[in-house]
Structure 1
Amino acid sequence: MHRKVSGYDAPVCVLTSQAAQALSAVQKAIAAGGLTLVVFDCYRPARAVSDMGDWTKTSGPPDPQWYPKVKRKDLIAKGYIGELSTHSRGSTVDVAITRADRKSAPKPACGATDADTLDFGTGFDCFDPTSETAHRPIASEAAANRKKLVEAMRAGGFKNYAREWWHFTLENEPFPRERFNFPVTAE
């Protein structure tokens, strides 16, 4: 969006205790292999979801970094931005994996380019069909890294959203019908 989103007042990850404990278990499991999780987003206030939805209704061409082939007005219809987000329930997390020694991978053409993650074929938040977890063709290393992430998260009790290789929701989330709206703050 190239601006602050409503409801995000601090760079803090808020999760239900169940999701936090499950994510901690995933971290411990992959750490044994010299890897670590990179967390991009956790709980998202309902007001942030509304702000994103309103933003998609404003005019704007495709953005080569974030949504290179999709018009902004189509981001909801194509499933890249939700009118209701699982993030607002507090048990969804956007993650990737990196090496514990943080050796940098090549930077992707689409999505976030500031995290030293393994190669996943695209960056986080690349709203493009190439970000679908099972998208083919994709480089073998990126496909293997997506599989590694999905398997690690599944072992921790999370299910993947097939349109985004980075998006996972706790399967037995405690608030499956809630939408919270408190802001993300440092307190």
Structure 2
Amino acid sequence: MMMCMLASASAGAGQDFKVERRRPDNFVDVARAIPKMQFDIRYYSAHNFVGRRVHGYEQAACLLTGPAVAALKKVEDQLLPMGLTLKAYDCYRPQSAVDDFVSWAADTQDNRMQAEFYPSVRKDRLFEQGYIAAHSGHSRGSTIDLTLVPVNSVIPGFDGRLADCAAPQEKRVPDNSLDFGTGFDCFSPASHPDYQAISAQAKANRRLLQSLMGSAGFVPLETEWWHFTLKNEPYPDTYFDFPVRPVSP
């Protein structure tokens, strides 16, 4: 699909960035490319810090650029002999979803999910502390939020009960993820990859994930153990805003 329909938008601090509203042909449905990988697309569900489906998520699909998928498959191929597989929480994220986060953050009266995702942070400080921003690398199509899970394990359903995301694993909301010290999207310093006050096993799991992803060409984010961006991403300056739904083969 030809690159067109570009718009300019404010990225904060006086910066501009390009918004592309059509999907390029090299975006891939990851479930088709990596069949044993699991997908727990949180922003399609109500189990996220907003507490409802996020704008732009029409289906629970994981889309990434072709180069990102090729690199991710290298990681998966190393994990399978260990009895492990990747599980994605989020992949490509439309700019409209990021805008939805910004609008949600401005409504300081809506704290329905605070007990799980930001129990120790005031909502009116989420921007200041960097947990919410006006744009995201996810919108460029080569960033993924993911974890490690046992092959053939079952993703637990969400029953609406909340628990502190930084609590010990057995006290958090159930997830089939290995223990990484916090749950996904935990707005806490404990989510920083180099945070030390977690169990030895959680530290080892973080090292394994970072090592495998780094070897495949992904760069971590210093504040989120689950977040990785392909170093040589094909669209470093373009933020996409087409809806999330499966890509036809």
- On whether the aligned pair clears a TM of 0.5, the verdict is yes
Does 1:82 pair with 2:133?
A: yes
Equivalent residue for 1:41? 90
Equivalent residue for 1:32? 81
Displacement after TM superposition at 1:73 (Å): 2.1
What root-mean-square deviation, in Å, do the aligned CA atoms of Structure 1 and Structure 2 show?
1.9
Distance between the aligned counterparts of 1:101 and 1:5, measured in 2? 28
Equivalent pair of 2:119/2:164 in contact (CA under 8 Å): no
CA offsets per residue over residues 30-81 of structure 1, 9 Å max, x none?
A: 1121111011100000010011011111114581201111112222221222
Distance between the aligned counterparts of 1:123 and 1:50, measured in 2? 24
Change (3 A) 1:152 1:113: farther
Aligned pair count reads: 184
SS state at 1:64 partner: helix
Distance between the aligned counterparts of 2:236 and 2:186, measured in 1? 26
Work out the percentage of aligned pairs sharing the same amino acid: 41
Displacement after TM superposition at 1:101 (Å): 4.8
What aligned pairs does 1:161-180 form with structure 2 within 5 A after superposition? 161-180=221-240
CA offsets per residue over residues 117-158 of structure 1, 9 Å max, x none?
A: 111011111111111111122111111101111111101110
Equivalent residue for 1:122? 182
Displacement after TM superposition at 1:176 (Å): 0.4
| RCO comparison, higher one (Cα < 8 Å, 6+) | 1
Distance between the aligned counterparts of 1:101 and 1:14, measured in 2? 22
Q: 2:165 aligns with which of 101, 106, 110?
A: 110
1:99 aligned partner, one-letter code: P
Does 1:182 pair with 2:237?
A: no
Distance between the aligned counterparts of 1:19 and 1:136, measured in 2? 30
What aligned pairs does 1:8-19 form with structure 2 within 5 A after superposition? 8-19=57-68
Equivalent pair of 1:26/1:156 in contact (CA under 8 Å): yes
SS state at 2:130 partner: coil
Distance between the aligned counterparts of 1:30 and 1:129, measured in 2? 28
Displacement after TM superposition at 1:114 (Å): 4.4
Change (3 A) 1:137 1:114: closer
Equivalent residue for 2:214? 154
Distance between the aligned counterparts of 1:155 and 1:186, measured in 2? 28
Does 1:143 pair with 2:203?
A: yes
Deviates further, 119-128 or 58-67: 58-67
Equivalent pair of 1:80/1:163 in contact (CA under 8 Å): no
Equivalent pair of 1:9/1:186 in contact (CA under 8 Å): no
TM-score when normalising by structure 1: 0.92
Distance between the aligned counterparts of 1:134 and 1:63, measured in 2? 24
Equivalent residue for 1:54? 103
Equivalent residue for 2:148? 97
Equivalent pair of 1:10/1:184 in contact (CA under 8 Å): yes
Gaps (5+ residues) in structure 2?
1-49, 156-162, 167-171
